[in-house]
Chains A and B, each alone.
Chain A
Amino acid sequence: MMMAKETLYVLEAQHITINFGGLTAVNDVSLQVPFESIISIIGPNGAGKTTFFNCISGFYQIDGGTVLFQERPINGIPTDEIADLGISRTYQNIRLFTNMSVMENVLIGQQPRLHSTCVDTILQTYRNRREEQQSIQKASNLLEFVGLSAYADDLAKNLPYGAQRRLEIARALGNNPHLLLLDEPCAGMNPHETAAMIDLIRTLRSDLKITVVLIEHDMKVVMNISDSILVLDHGEAIANGTPEEIQKNQRVIEAYLGTGTDDLVEKYSQRKKKAAQPIGEE
């Protein structure tokens, strides 16, 4: 019974905690991501959403807890090996390789799935040529999939904003990920572009069978596509459930709308106290 239950999750984050100096940026957050689901993480600014992503994708070393990817702990694994395992991500402030072409950006994303060495390259072995051809074909397919075929040979920096977001997704798809982490994919987009992005994320799941975890501020997007929502506030998970449940949750409403300044000050001071607790007391 237990086994069957565990295999349902592509990602399991258990009690993630991370500190920056005295500040606890993420405190005891747990998240279970079932296969082929779309999970959203929401929360006010500075709630620790991106930090949580960074913990999963290996940028930060967590101070406590475990991250299990397909039942395998991935704590402290370098980011490139995490990409190799099949977790890809995009970034809140778009980070493309700006002076490289769109195609090259997507090709870089396939890095973990390519095996030709530099000796192959110099000697132009059959393996190298075949692999290069295949990866270029796949990159073209990916660009077609996200709708950027027209830009394929432009420099990445010359792309319009919305296209850059899509290019990041195409790049992230290069390593055939099982799990895709999208950090604010719809930020700064107009309603039309947002709708297109929602469609794209849905096709990611339906066509490519990819599990998606996304951070988003746009409630329309979140409520529209999520199977389940995790709400973070000041580094703590305050709610976790279906969109309907979250909409009704009192704590979420408080976190978003606030309960007045006094409460906030009190809350901050409480956090301070928590952070200042002696080490290893628990």
Chain B
Amino acid sequence: MMNTVKNGTRPIQKNQVRRINWLRWIVGISTGLFLLYRIILMVIRPTYGPVYWLGFLNTGLIVGGMYSLIAIGYTLVYGVMSLINFAHGDIMMLGCFAGFFTFEFLNYLPSGDSSFLNNHPILSILFAFIMGTGVSMLSGYFLEKLAYRPLRNSKIRLAPLISAVGASIFLETSAQILFGATKKTYKNPDLLARGSGWNIQMDGGMIVITKTGVFSLLMAIILMIALYLFVQKTKLGKSIRAVSQDKMTAQLMGINLDRVTSQTFLISGFLAGASGVMWGIHNGLFNHYVGFLPGIKAFTAAVLGGIGNIPGAMVGGMVLGIVESVGPAFLGIDFQLKDVIAFAILILVLILKPSGLFGKSSGSVEKV
């Protein structure tokens, strides 16, 4: 009689799976075959020596760290509000600007024989991070209050997302008019001068490991560990996790939804601001548009890791960064097209495994 209990997993709607299966198979197999072909080609007729690959990996890790930080912001907000915070990239942009202004100010500030910036580089960097994260946290906080909170119980499902796009456009164009559309250059302290670093000689070439890159990667890793501990150990972190599991129950357990949402935006703003400053320090050139592409790519990273899943976002960001920098060489296409790779990955993930690498099972069964 009891031949029925096959497994203990949550049932998924088979219809969804069945209808997409043929598409999934076709895309999956052809992608796999293509990748295999490229690998074989790379082994038989290598166009790049190992030193290049290490170089790409180096670039990828650095960018990936920043993507991870931004992606965590998306994932946190998505968990709590089920909203793609489209303006997240622009919050990062504001952080980037704040860091820039801090450095400029400290550069003008005389201290001893030279500027404050070069006399107290570590303090300067700290100030820049405080300002960058502070501005981003504030803007995230007010963004939520003004643009998202009134829409939380909106009858129109798309309302919050449209509002998010509006906020994003508003922030971006405001920055454009305020600060001008020309590209600006970060004034790093000499300690972290761009381009300086260590050259590692290998046969076939050398790898340049820049100080800014090492700094960014270390910063990103430290922040990610801190955030992970924060979310796992503190009361607020637990409330955030509880709310993303089940809003109603969390409220019944005495969690103040408004407060948790605000605090989530503060945290995600903090991470976005930090990555904005890191972006500026590492890449130097930036303008009001700086947040747009990293924002979308970080969202891709969040989807890749399974949206709503914090470790997933971290890994997803790293993976995306690496794939993006290794990809063009691997696929033998122009480096101009590296952005295409990120979006192609997004589409592939959504076809092949919509729940992401670490996500919970998708096709959520709605209670009826």
Chain A directly contacts chain B within the complex, with at least one CB pair under 8 Å: yes
Where the two chains meet, the residues of A that have a C-beta atom closer than 8 Å to any C-beta of B are: 15, 17-22, 24, 28, 50, 54, 58-65, 76-81, 91-92, 95, 99, 275, 277, 279-280, 282
Q: Which residues from chain A contact B15 at a C-beta distance below 8 Å?
A: 58, 76-81
Q: Which residues from chain A contact B12 at a C-beta distance below 8 Å?
A: 61
Give the residue name and chain of the B residue nearest to A55 (CB). B11
CB atoms of A64 and B5 under 8 A apart: yes
CB atoms of B7 and A91 under 8 A apart: no
User: What is the interface of chain A mostly: helix, strand, loop, or mixed?
Assistant: loop
Distance to closest chain A CB from B14 (angstroms): 4
CB atoms of A17 and B4 under 8 A apart: yes
B18 at the binding interface (Cβ < 8 Å): yes
Question: Which chain B residues (1-30) contact chain A, with CB distance < 8 Å?
Answer: 1-16, 18-19
Q: Which residues from chain A contact B6 at a C-beta distance below 8 Å?
A: 63-64, 279-280
Distance to closest chain A CB from B70 (angstroms): 33
CB atoms of B1 and A15 under 8 A apart: yes
Question: Which chain B residues (347-368) contact chain A, with CB distance < 8 Å?
Answer: 365-366, 368
Q: Which residues from chain B contact A279 at a C-beta distance below 8 Å?
A: 5-8
A81 to B14, CA, bound (A): 12
Q: Which residues from chain B contact A58 at a C-beta distance below 8 Å?
A: 15
A95 to B18, CA, bound (A): 26
Q: Which interface class (under 10, 10 to 19, 20 to 34, 35 or more) fits B? A: 20 to 34
CB atoms of A64 and B4 under 8 A apart: yes
Distance to closest chain B CB from A156 (angstroms): 13
11 A-B residue pairings within 8 Å (CB atoms): A17-B4, A17-B5, A19-B9, A20-B10, A21-B9, A28-B2, A60-B13, A63-B4, A63-B7, A64-B5, A65-B4
Q: Which of B4, B11, B19, B155 contacts A60 (CB 8 A)?
A: B11
Give the residue name and chain of the B residue nearest to A16 (CB). B4
- Beyond the given A19-B10, A78-B18, could you list 18 further A-B residue pairs with CB under 8 A, ordered by the A residue number? A19-B8, A19-B9, A28-B1, A28-B2, A59-B13, A60-B13, A62-B11, A63-B5, A63-B11, A65-B4, A76-B18, A77-B15, A80-B15, A81-B15, A91-B368, A92-B368, A282-B1, A282-B2
Q: Which of B1, B4, B8, B11 contacts A22 (CB 8 A)?
A: B8
A17 to B12, CA, bound (A): 14
Give the residue name and chain of the B residue nearest to A282 (CB). B2
A61 to B9, CA, bound (A): 11
Distance to closest chain A CB from B278 (angstroms): 40
Q: Which residues from chain A contact B9 at a C-beta distance below 8 Å?
A: 19, 21
CB atoms of A54 and B5 under 8 A apart: no
A64 to B11, CA, bound (A): 11
Give the residue name and chain of the B residue nearest to A15 (CB). B4
CB atoms of B13 and A50 under 8 A apart: no
| Residue picked from B7, B11, B14, most chain A C-beta under 10 Å | B11
A275 to B18, CA, bound (A): 28
CB atoms of B4 and A95 under 8 A apart: no
8 interchain residue pairs of minimum CB distance: A64-B4, A78-B15, A76-B14, A17-B4, A282-B2, A61-B11, A61-B14, A60-B11
CB atoms of A21 and B8 under 8 A apart: yes
Give the residue name and chain of the B residue nearest to A81 (CB). B15
Q: Which residues from chain B contact A64 at a C-beta distance below 8 Å?
A: 3-6
CB atoms of B3 and A60 under 8 A apart: no
Q: Which residues from chain B contact A61 at a C-beta distance below 8 Å?
A: 11-14
Distance to closest chain B CB from A141 (angstroms): 28
A275 to B2, CA, bound (A): 12
CB atoms of B365 and A60 under 8 A apart: yes
Q: Which residues from chain B contact A15 at a C-beta distance below 8 Å?
A: 1, 4
Q: Which residues from chain A contact B18 at a C-beta distance below 8 Å?
A: 76, 78
CB atoms of B10 and A28 under 8 A apart: no
Distance to closest chain A CB from B197 (angstroms): 51
Give the residue name and chain of the A residue nearest to B366 (CB). A59
